[in-house]
Amino acid sequence: MKYYSVAIDGPAGSGKSTVARRVAEHLGFTYVDSGAMYRAVAWQALNQSADFHNDTEIEQIAKELHFQLDKNGWLINGERIDSLLRSPQVSQYASNVAKTIGVRKILVAKQQEIASKNHVVMDGRDIGNHVLPHADVKIYLTASVEERAKRRLNEQQKRGYDGDLQLIMKEIERRDEQDQTREISPLRQASDAVRIDTTSRSVQQIVDEIVTICCTKMGGEE
């Protein structure tokens, strides 16, 4: 049986997870938030006061974590910890653990296994270029740094964290730089991806555009 896959990549705050979740719902596909896996490794490493410079230690944490996907998202070691994974501290450390080749190998293998058994919409940084190079549809979302920082601030305030726009802009720029310049699987638009600037567009507009692309490429499947 052929399993369809939609890869959505882009920098922090470009709208990947919001859009990917809705596109998956619309198509009846499984949504896979790959960033949450890197966040989970960082979260566990912080819990254990691990040494982020020690690749072997961080890799061992990735090996031992149990990832289970259900219709509401990831269960990490049997627990739903979504809001803990979204803290600013975990965001920054996720980008650090994502530089570790051993961690990437473990997580990419899990992502590819899911895509080999399900129709998926998967979002992240390296999905179109590395995890699912043969994805049926590849999308690269982007937006200005200021717009992305405003979105993050908004989200953080809703979650009860305080925030400063200028500081968030700096953090986003630092994470963009780290994600784009790392040696292994840097964030880069795939040559065959459709680029969509989400800066002044609503979530619904983006979702509609992607669903239309999917329906065209996948022969009208919905």
List, as residue ranges, the binding site: 10-18
List, as residue ranges, the binding site for ATP: 10-18
Instruction: State the DSSP string of 27-55.
Output: HTPEEEEHHHHHHHHHHHHHHTT--TT-H
Q: Which residues pair with 140 in a beta bridge?
A: 9, 195
Q: Shortest Cβ distance from residue 124 to ligand CDP (Å)?
A: 2
C-alpha to C-alpha distance for 88 and 46, rounded to whole angstroms: 13
Q: In terms of DSSP bridges, do strands 67-70 and 73-76 run parallel, antiparallel, or are they unpaired?
A: antiparallel
Which of 5, 13, 74, 132 touches ligand CDP by CB under 6 A?
13
Q: Which residues pair with 79 in a beta bridge?
A: 76
Task: Between 132 and 220, name the residue whose CB sits nearer to ligand CDP.
Answer: 132
Q: Shortest Cβ distance from residue 193 to ligand CDP (Å)?
A: 14
Q: Shortest Cβ distance from residue 98 to ligand CDP (Å)?
A: 3
Q: Restricting to residues 178-207, name those near ligand CDP by CB under 6 A.
A: 179, 198, 201-203, 206
Task: Between 7 and 214, name the residue whose CB sits nearer to ligand CDP.
Answer: 7
Which of 6, 27, 35, 100 touches ligand CDP by CB under 6 A?
35
Which of 55, 155, 173, 208 touches ligand CDP by CB under 6 A?
155
C-alpha to C-alpha distance for 211 and 209, rounded to whole angstroms: 6
Position 128 contacts ligand CDP (CB under 6 A): no
To which residue do tokens 């219709």 refer?
A: 71
Q: What count of other Cβ atoms lies within 10 Å of the Cβ of residue 165?
A: 12
Nearest CA to 199 out of 144, 139, 132 is that of: 144
State the DSSP H helix or E strand holding residue 146, giving kind and residue range, or none if neither.
helix 145-158
**Applying CB under 6 A, what is the total number of residues that bind ligand CDP?**
30
Interacting residue ranges for ligand CDP, rule: CB under 6 A: 10, 12-18, 34-36, 38-39, 91, 94-95, 98, 124-127, 151, 155, 175, 179, 198, 201-203, 206
